[in-house]
Amino acid sequence: MATENWKYREMNKNALNEKDYYWASIAWDGYSEETEGEQTIMRYKIEYLFEDVAYYLDKFKGRDAYLACASHEFNGEEKDITSLVLNEISTKKEKDKHGK
Ranges of each domain in the chain: 6-95
Which pLDDT does position 2 carry in this prediction?
43
pTM beyond 0.75: the answer is: no
SS3 of residue 56 by DSSP:
helix
Residue 99 per-residue DSSP state = T
pLDDT in tens, 45-87: 999 999 999 999 999 999 999 999 999 999 889 999 999 999 9
Burial class (CB in 10 A: 0-12, 13-18, 19+), 63: middle
Q: How far is C-alpha 60 from the chain's CA centre?
A: 13
Q: CA 43, CA 24: separation in Å to the nearest integer?
A: 9
Give percent of the chain with pLDDT exceeding 70: 81
Q: Using 50, 70 and 90 to split pLDDT, how confident is the model at 1?
A: very low
Q: Which of 11, 8, 96, 83 is nearest to 52 (CA)?
A: 8
Measured distance between the N- and C-terminal CA atoms of the chain, rounded to whole angstroms? 19
